[in-house]
Structure 1
Amino acid sequence: MTTQLKSYPEYKPSGIKWLDNVPAHWDVRRLKRVASLNPSKTESRLFLTADTPVTFLPMERVGTDGKIDEEVVPASSVWNGFTYFRRSDVLVAKITPCFENGKGACLESLSTEVGFGSTEFHVLRAGASILAQFLYRLTTLAEFRHSGADEMIGAAGQQRVPQAFVANYPLALPPLAEQTAIVRYLDHTDRRIRRYVSSREQLIELLEEYRQAVIHHAVTHGLDSDVRLKPSGVEWLGDVPAHWGVAAVKRHYSIQLGKMLQNGPNVPTDIAVPYLKAQHVQWFSVRTTDAPTMWASPHEIEQFGIRAGDLLVCEGGEGGRCSLVEEVPPGYIIQNALHRVRSFGTNRNDYLQYVMSSISKTGWFDAINNKATIAHFTAEKFGSLMIPIPPLPEQTAIVAYLDKATAAIDAAIDRARREIELLGEYRTRLIADVVTGKVDVREAVADLPQ
């Protein structure tokens, strides 16, 4: 779309390195010259009473996409200890990482005249020479976010963008009529992008549902559509092929819970070794690049060690989440937030991985892990889990079929996610080019539907 937009006929130096040249008829101003910052709530005493409905916006109710989730409360409940704002003000999060992530909003459609929110917001009020929506677009620029992050002050983890940075931020200011055109063009483009992104997200959801249906059917009914079925006697499983067995996991697999964290050597022969914990294991994926270390004896390294082909299953967190280990550097062990699973020799770990994935979507893990408290998928619960056991040749055929089928589905999901990612990059670049005057949208706006 930007390739169809023309540059302005004439430019002038802005005097600002990152801004470079700007349209010749635009002004270059500091933000404090066109907007007021953090207005005092004392102005509201003239019309606000204790019972007046006001909007309340804690940080979690303001998105990174400009959207807000309003809660209306009496003014008396939020008068003290919160940041004051009014309809058409612009909010900008000032604390890390909310600032860098882009939390903020233009409040033109606020349902109440007045609102209060987190003290971690800067409030910008547009003056006569700038539109609130144009001002908000300026605060979404990557340059604004990167420069603000560089100017943060305070202790690590509690750093904030100072008001002085926002006040002195330079901007290129077009005439009001042109700001109106820019806002209209970007709003129109945003709607088109969001509609397409929504369609891609719906496609991803459908593909993920289809993927799980393919897995579930294969591990519960096999690949022969004409096979005779029998009741399994297992609630989550239903009917299975008549020639399959149904047994507890512990009858066919060994389960080894990992080692409790040891922060130092207990004896001189202990060794510091890398270990994996629950966060390193996602569905069908094991991450080894950021493994921390703990101390263990040579015997424990052997006892809790992992090798290619092992199945790692989460004991805590999302109990039951698992992945096959395809490759791992030597010397790694597992912490006690993970189980290591190995077949006794007559079954496949990769088949069990697909079975576990199927069970997870039935809600059965949530039921047995007691998520009302701290979820734990203990070795006892895991070992007692009833699963379908096809003959080994059928397990091999099922795994081969599912590897191929899920690879095709995963590729389609990855393509859709990449499209969403590229659209996000395009949107960011477009906003920057438009609000800094690199492209002229005035003719394009004239062609937009009313």
Structure 2
Amino acid sequence: MKTQWVALRRLVRIANGGTPTPESDNWNGEVPWATPVDLGRANGFSLNETERNLTTKGALSGSTIAPKGSVLLSTRAPIGYAAINDVPMAFNQGCKALIPRDGISAPFLRYSLAHVGPQLQSMGQGSTFLELSASALASVKIPLSSTKVQTQIAKFLDRETAQIDELIGKQELLIKLLGEKRQAIITHAVTKGLNPDAPTKRSGAPWLGEVPAHWDVVGSRRIFRERGERARPDDEQLTASQVHGIISQAEFVATTGNRVTSVIKGEEILKHVEPNDFVISMRSFQGGLELSRIQGKISSAYVMLVPTPGIDVEYFRWLFKSDRYISGLQSTSNLVRDGQALRFANFAQLRLPVPPIQEQEAIDAWIREKLAVMDKLQKPVLLSLDLLRQRRAALISAAVTGKIDIQEGGFEA
């Protein structure tokens, strides 16, 4: 099968998205508004509903409407989710619309983007979060065949990947259930303690509910202060990640394969981080706070929290990653959307439980023991899921690059 590699700029029109201003007449209308979160849920499939909608006014004044049958691609946080919009759809600045030109099959384009996904991710740049620019995206080449063959390949992959997707769905459901059990273990331990018979009292904190009667519940400022120190000359550049925590930028690049733009000018605005600092990052409203184990420097957009002596940071590490705490953090602002950062003022609004120090340490040890069992149960499931995803990716790559002859192999659509 004859295949040529062609730059996307020749095959599609690329449109940027946006977010309207918060005025009420821009929101809650009938125009779906896609974000990377929406694309993540529909990745590899079609999308016709989104978490939030815009009015026509909001879509026209602050966003872009992609025509039905476009391919929406997430280009930051993270890069690479792709779905075909079944209805005209607006989208935010974390996405781009690839509007096919004549002769280009949208389903084939979606599969081709999956094939070049690792390349797209490696092209992301940014010091706070990785983003793929429109010009970089336009330069990416994908394998291209005739319109007829594009359609045949897409139909073949729809059929063959459906079987794999069913197996993937079962494994993902199992992982989700294990994850929910994991969160339940953490949340109960850090908010209720380990003794089910302990007397309780009202905490006075709506997000927290009742706590053991012998625990203190105090304002966040009493046990954490904001670090205002600027970066030191010998500080290593750090990266905050919900997956990897606070790690060096070099380790992040080596682990993920993503490129990060280093700060050269204006480095004096970076902030210093010490071991045992907690970091409020761009995504803390989704996944809680990160505990740093290392010294370094980090984006000025982040907030560092210094614990007072006499508390166990490991207990608070679990607390700040609990579902209940994250929900409380989200309640501190109605402006948290589209990656907007939380500030120290948000953190300071929540009162925190403070068990006796020996109990903090016991809770940490108990959680570690329980989660070690959960990890053993989850390991073979993750391995199976990884193998299924590799199989799916290999099938897509072989089909779109012409290594599988759809017609001669008896797969004609």
**Which TM bucket (shorter chain)?**
0.5 to 0.7
Q: TM-score, normalised by structure 1?
A: 0.56
**Equivalent in 211, 214, 219 of residue 248 of structure 1:** 219
Contact residue 281 and residue 312 of structure 1 kept, 8 A: no
1:323 equivalent in alignment to 2:290: yes
Contact residue 259 and residue 334 of structure 1 kept, 8 A: no
Partners of 1:385 and 1:398 lie apart in 2 by: 21
Task: Identify the residue that residue 314 of structure 1 maps to in structure 2.
Answer: 280
1:404 equivalent in alignment to 2:364: no
Partners of 2:66 and 2:226 lie apart in 1 by: 56
**Equivalent in 333, 345, 355 of residue 319 of structure 2:** 355
Partners of 2:3 and 2:300 lie apart in 1 by: 57
Partners of 1:221 and 1:283 lie apart in 2 by: 26
Partners of 1:321 and 1:360 lie apart in 2 by: 10
1:158 equivalent in alignment to 2:139: no
CA deviations 1:239-271 (Å, max 9, x no partner) are 2223333333444x341333468xxxxxxxxx6
Task: Identify the residue that residue 280 of structure 1 maps to in structure 2.
Answer: 240
Identity rate, percent? 21
CA deviations 1:351-379 (Å, max 9, x no partner) are 12222223655621122245369654426
**Where do residues 37-52 of structure 1 align in structure 2 (5 Å cutoff)?**
none
Shift of 1:422: 3.0
Contact residue 316 and residue 375 of structure 1 kept, 8 A: yes
Shift of 1:399: 0.2
Partners of 2:363 and 2:372 lie apart in 1 by: 14
1:257 equivalent in alignment to 2:227: yes
Letter in 2 for 1:364: G
Partners of 1:29 and 1:359 lie apart in 2 by: 49
Letter in 2 for 1:231: R
Partners of 1:145 and 1:305 lie apart in 2 by: 31
Partners of 1:285 and 1:341 lie apart in 2 by: 17
Change (3 A) 1:136 1:405: same
CA deviations 1:38-85 (Å, max 9, x no partner) are 8xxxxxxxxxxxxxxxxx9999799762525399xxxxx99xxx9999
How well do the aligned residues superpose, as a CA RMSD in angstroms? 5.6
Contact residue 207 and residue 324 of structure 2 kept, 8 A: no
Partners of 2:138 and 2:301 lie apart in 1 by: 41
Shift of 1:332: 4.5
Partners of 1:311 and 1:96 lie apart in 2 by: 30
Task: Identify the residue that residue 231 of structure 1 maps to in structure 2.
Answer: 202
Change (3 A) 1:238 1:418: same
Change (3 A) 1:136 1:119: closer
Contact residue 249 and residue 385 of structure 1 kept, 8 A: yes
Change (3 A) 1:354 1:133: closer
Contact residue 250 and residue 384 of structure 1 kept, 8 A: no
Change (3 A) 1:31 1:228: closer
Number of aligned residue pairs = 343
**Where do residues 2-401 of structure 1 align in structure 2 (5 Å cutoff)?**
28=2, 65-69=44-48, 101=80, 103=82, 120-125=98-103, 139=112, 142=115, 157-159=134-136, 161=138, 169=144, 186-251=157-222, 253-259=223-229, 272-274=233-235, 280=240, 282=242, 285-289=245-249, 292=263, 294-295=267-268, 304-307=272-275, 310-314=276-280, 318=284, 321-326=288-293, 328-329=294-295, 332=297, 335=300, 337-345=302-310, 347-358=311-322, 360-361=324-325, 363-371=327-335, 376-378=342-344, 382=347, 385-401=350-366
Instruction: For structure 1, list consecutive stretches of 5 or more residues without a partner in the other structure.
Output: 1-26, 39-55, 72-76, 113-117, 127-131, 151-155, 262-270
Partners of 1:137 and 1:334 lie apart in 2 by: 34
Instruction: For structure 2, list consecutive stretches of 5 or more residues without a partner in the other structure.
Output: 13-30, 54-58, 89-95, 124-132, 251-261
SS of equivalent residue, structure 2 residue 214: coil
CA deviations 1:207-236 (Å, max 9, x no partner) are 222222111111122212232323333322
Partners of 2:249 and 2:336 lie apart in 1 by: 33
Change (3 A) 1:398 1:185: same
